[in-house]
Amino acid sequence: MPNKWILGARPKTLPAAIVPVALGTAASFEEGFSPFPAILCLIVALALQMGVNYANDYSDGVRGNDGLARTGPTRLVGGGLAPASQVLKAALIMFLIAALSGVYLSTITTLWLIPVGLICILGAWFYTGGSKPYGYRGLGEVSVFIFFGLIATNGSFFVQLERLAIEPFLLSCVTGLLSCALLTVNNLRDHENDKKVQKRTLSVLMGERASRKLFGVMVILSLLLSLLVCLWHIWVLLVLIAIPLLYRSIKIVYEAHDIKGWNSALRVVGALQISFGILLTAGLLISS
């Protein structure tokens, strides 16, 4: 069994932090690139991702929503692997790392990044924390699209050139949609347990059938938006290589009905997200 803190950090979710930073940075290569801001962006994104994972583990655990009967991976608090106080401390340490890295990044770019970073940390905590967590009100996908799509990708581009542009905006929508798609599959897997504990995710509110259709729309739209970037970077057409995997992801999500099927779907959709990230980044770098 892996170290419990590695387990709690949920390594399989980390591509959601890495891909937007890679794409936002790669989009700036044609005009200029500085490695240090890119590294700081990556540290901020990874620390926020791990921080929100620990925070969710803590909040869901103390509420009793992540018991041993859950269908997904065992959680630290709910599974009895670590005391709630230690998991909370781990979340706060990650948020502190993100905050310190973000503040330093703002001092070499613009101080306007500080309030943006504060909003990101608050968004990470109140996803499942506080008395009225917005993740329990069907807003999980919206928050993922904003934080790990729009902000992460456009922010990574901005710290390189200190301006915004249409290409990174389109790429931010792509990364946001793919992260939303992965969250949708995760919520479909946990659908029954979430209903029992009154955790009203978007999948619970919409129902399984509509959520599967929404998944299909999100991954297809992510491909179409990627192709729009070809107007500026023709080698982005490399993303077409991922079409068979995209088709497979839709098929497996539509057919999944048990824990084995949903776990397979998560692996395939995770591979799709990574494939898009690699292909789009390669296309951007070749075109520059």
Give the model's pLDDT for residue 70. Answer: 60
Residue 193 has pLDDT above 90, yes or no: no
Per-residue pLDDT tens digits for 145-162:
999 999 999 999 999 999
Per-residue pLDDT tens digits for 93-121:
999 999 999 999 999 999 999 999 999 99
Give the model's pLDDT for residue 101. Answer: 97
Task: Tell me how many domains the chain contains.
Answer: 1
Q: What is the average pLDDT across 78-87? A: 93
Q: Of 193, 237, 195, 246, nearest to 217 (Cα)?
A: 246
On average, the pLDDT of the chain sits at 94
- C-alpha span between 11 and 34 (Å, rounded): 27
The dihedral through the CA atoms of 84, 89, 92, 97 has a sign that is negative
The residue range of the domain holding 27 is 4-287
Residue 275 has pLDDT above 60, yes or no: yes
Per-residue pLDDT tens digits for 211-222:
999 999 999 999
Q: Angle at CA 11, nearest 5°, toward 8 and 12? A: 120
CATH code for position 232? 1.10.600
Burial of 182 (0-12, 13-18, 19+ CB in 10 A): buried
Q: Of 120, 55, 37, 38, nearest to 93 (Cα)?
A: 55
- C-alpha span between 28 and 104 (Å, rounded): 21
Residue 1 has pLDDT above 50, yes or no: no
2 pLDDT band, cuts 50/70/90, is low
Residue 255 has pLDDT above 60, yes or no: yes
